[in-house]
């Protein structure tokens, strides 16, 4: 095993996913390192969701290797799933339960014992110290996303999967969630993030992969991808501000046609 893979909390090698005769993911390979935020970007229908579902173990790929913290998602699924946390774009907890009750419930599912004092500390850490007795349905969208991320990481997983976590949030709530992600990176977690926001990817991702028609067509840091592609005619023609941005690169590489 090379040094890069020895530090990886997620290894995806030669992933292929079919739905009948349609190939949704084509020979996709990438790694997510400990202490890294890795963005997976692509138009609708490009293969992001299929890739994420395969990593989560929700679908069985036709071929390829997926390892989470060194555990094969196929052969050691229990250990692999215990090493990851998942925050979906839309997460619905029981609206009648209080936040403290939800935390206790899911901590118990993960086998994590939390005292009332520890729950209070956790809520203070995500700036919800006065919300423990509130019902989940009473929280704002940004507060619900903070609780959702907390639940996804209550068992301290090595890998955290975030599926468009800031969609629909106001700028303040989005920035708060970015800070939470960056704090997790500093603690050594690996984060795999899908997003349609190029601003978000450029702001917080250490590396990104652009996937289109099931294939990864570019992978590197946001700034390197901008530098490598800024002089391509299709990228220049996509620019609307004079300064080449990650969004210009994305449009230039994947095309301007709207995907359904």
Cα distance between the two ends of the chain: 40
The SS3 call for residue 37 is strand
- Structural domain range at position 196: 1-83+158-215
Mean pLDDT of 186-190: 95
On whether residue 237 sits in a domain, the answer given is no
The CATH number of whichever domain residue 4 belongs to comes to 3.40.50.300
On whether residue 225 sits in a domain, the answer given is no
The SS3 call for residue 138 is helix
Mean pLDDT of 40-61: 93
Q: Of 48, 35, 29, which is closest to residue 181 (Cα–Cα)?
A: 35
Distance CA 69, CA 250 (A): 30
What pLDDT does 10 receive?
Answer: 98
Q: Are residues 166 and 137 in the same domain?
A: no
Question: Cβ neighbours of residue 93 under 8 Å, at least 6 residues apart?
Answer: 102, 136, 147, 148, 151
Question: In this structure, what token pair is assigned to residue 234?
Answer: 């299709």
Q: Are residues 40 and 136 in the same domain?
A: no
Distance CA 76, CA 70 (A): 9
Q: Are residues 165 and 152 in the same domain?
A: no
**Listed residues 195, 215, 235: the one ending a domain:** 215
Q: Are residues 173 and 79 in the same domain?
A: yes
Q: Are residues 116 and 8 in the same domain?
A: no
Distance CA 208, CA 143 (A): 27
Question: In this structure, what token pair is assigned to residue 220?
Answer: 């590197």
Mean pLDDT of 95-99: 86
**Listed residues 156, 172, 207: the one ending a domain:** 156
Give per-residue pLDDT as tens, 103-154: 999 898 888 888 888 989 988 888 888 888 888 888 888 888 888 888 888 9
Number of domains in the chain: 2
8 Å CB contact between 68 and 9 = yes
Give per-residue pLDDT as tens, 242-255: 789 999 999 999 98
Distance CA 10, CA 33 (A): 7
Q: Are residues 99 and 197 in the same domain?
A: no
On whether residue 5 sits in a domain, the answer given is yes
Q: Are residues 125 and 186 in the same domain?
A: no
Q: Are residues 184 and 145 in the same domain?
A: no
């Amino acid at each position: 095993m090379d040094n890069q893979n020895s530090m990886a909390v997620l290894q995806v090698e030669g992933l292929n996913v079919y739905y009948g005769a349609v190939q949704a993911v084509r020979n996709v390979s990438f790694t997510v390192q400990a202490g890294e935020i890795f963005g997976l970007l692509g138009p609708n229908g490009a293969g992001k969701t299929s890739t994420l579902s395969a990593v989560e173990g929700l679908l069985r790929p036709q071929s390829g290797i997926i390892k989470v913290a060194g555990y094969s998602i196929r052969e050691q699924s229990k250990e692999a799933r215990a090493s990851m946390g998942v925050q979906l774009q839309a997460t619905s907890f029981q609206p009648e339960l209080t936040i403290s009750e939800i935390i206790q419930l899911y901590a118990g599912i993960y086998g994590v014992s939390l005292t009332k004092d520890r729950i209070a500390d956790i809520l203070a850490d995500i700036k919800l110290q006065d919300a423990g007795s509130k019902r989940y349905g009473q929280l704002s969208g940004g507060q619900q996303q903070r609780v959702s991320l907390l639940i996804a990481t209550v068992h301290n997983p090595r890998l955290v999967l975030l599926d468009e976590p800031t969609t629909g949030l106001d700028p303040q709530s989005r920035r708060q969630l970015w800070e939470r992600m960056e704090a997790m990176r500093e603690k050594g977690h690996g984060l795999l993030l899908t997003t349609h926001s190029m601003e978000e990817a450029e702001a917080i991702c250490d590396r990104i992969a652009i996937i289109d028609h099931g294939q990864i067509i570019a992978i590197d840091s946001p700034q390197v991808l901008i530098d490598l592609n800024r002089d391509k005619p299709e990228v220049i023609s996509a620019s609307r501000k004079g300064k080449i941005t990650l969004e210009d690169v994305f449009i230039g590489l994947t095309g301007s046609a709207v995907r359904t």
